[in-house]
Amino acid sequence: MNKKTIKFFDKIQNIDRRYIYIVVALAIIFPLLIPFNSPTYVTKPTEDIYKKIDSFSGDKSKAVLLSFTHDASTMPELFPMEVSVLRHCFERDIKVFTICWIPAAAPLVDYAINTAKEDFDVQSGIDYCNFGYKPYALRLPIMLGMGDDIAKAVETDSQGRKIENLEIMQDIKNYDDMNLVVDFAASGSAIQWITYARAKFGANIAAGVTAVMVADNYPYLQTGQLMGMFRGLKGAAEYEKLVDVFASYKSEDHPHGRPFSKEIIDQTRVAITGDAVPYKYKKARIGMNAQSVAHIMMIFFILIGNIGYFITRKKVGGKHV
């Protein structure tokens, strides 16, 4: 090993760590400030949720329930999922209900609904209904009660209106009608929906979780107890893509969006520069760009650091330092 090489790696080993932090910070900031369309590969757990929700399109006797069990600390990963599912429901004229179990989640539900409905002519109590905050202690009786009669289990919505009097409740009685529950959480709370709503009443359950919780929920996905799962920011980016490619797509042949097709998904994977679709909402995809670049930079520094460590252990003559 020549002296120049050893000297170079010796400098790398002794570089001020603050410069490394600056480079990583810039690798995160630039993709956020200057977004670019990178290819988004859709996986089966996300695809299955999309197809299930889309099967309710235009069916007034079917609905989706979104359960919020998190606070603002996990919004970067969970909020894009919630908005994307709401957009999908509004695009396809699917009835959607929301509920939360901790006080801190109540404003997040309103924020998600208001963000998603900006481009849609939808009304509370007709197209969607927010059950609002319900104390965690009532979670079990509400879960079980909705299996018999939703209006009796919940009684009032976030605005204090009687659930049974709302137009959206026409043809919606229990889990047979509200046939999909999507639990957004930074924990394994989906197991409660599986234990009570699925095991007792046969409800379809899906989960939207942060990346660190994916491994804990995988066994339920593999056994079919979860029919699908959003896995961190990547899952949110996948669903954003599906909504834009299919539900938000407008043409003479498909004025209300087009049906799901594996062929169309495969076509979007071919484009090197990303998906040739005018995105309206792409928070997760922008976040994935920054995350990907940052990970590449960190891997690069780890490799250089390790190579430099082993090289600088030896002197020119081959003797150990």
Give the model confidence (pLDDT) of 152-181 as tens digits: 999 999 999 999 999 999 999 999 999 999
Same domain, 21 and 50: no
Position 16 in a domain: yes
Q: 269 has which bridge partners?
A: none
Same domain, 15 and 104: no
Same domain, 211 and 293: no
Q: What is the pLDDT of residue 272?
A: 37
Per-residue confidence at 300, pLDDT binned at 50, 70, 90? confident
Same domain, 60 and 111: yes
Q: What is the pLDDT of residue 120?
A: 93
Q: Note the pLDDT tens digit of each residue in 202-221.
A: 999 999 999 999 999 999 99
Q: Note the pLDDT tens digit of each residue in 27-37.
A: 888 888 887 77
Same domain, 8 and 115: no
Predicted confidence (pLDDT) at residue 275 exceeds the cutoff of 70 = no
Please compute the mean of the pLDDT values over residues 19-33 and round it to a whole number: 85
d(CA 109, CA 255): 29
Predicted confidence (pLDDT) at residue 223 exceeds the cutoff of 80 = yes
Predicted confidence (pLDDT) at residue 258 exceeds the cutoff of 70 = yes
Distances from the Cα of 36 to the Cα of 27, 51, 242, 264, angstroms: 13, 27, 18, 21
Per-residue confidence at 124, pLDDT binned at 50, 70, 90? very high
Q: What backbone torsions phi and psi does residue 150 show, to the nearest 5 degrees?
A: -60, -45
Per-residue confidence at 281, pLDDT binned at 50, 70, 90? confident
CATH code for the domain in which residue 206 is found:
3.40.50
Q: What is the pLDDT of residue 318?
A: 53
The beta strand positions in 171-279, using DSSP E, are: 180-185, 204-209, 228-231
More confident residue, 36 or 246: 246
Percent of the chain with pLDDT strictly greater than 90: 63
Q: Which residue has the tokens 């999507």?
A: 182
Same domain, 183 and 68: yes
Position 316 in a domain: no
9 and 321 in contact (C-beta within 8 Å)? Answer: no
Residue 200 token pair: 């007792």
pTM listed for this prediction: 0.85
205 and 146 in contact (C-beta within 8 Å)? Answer: no
- Number of separate domains in the chain: 2
d(CA 123, CA 67): 20
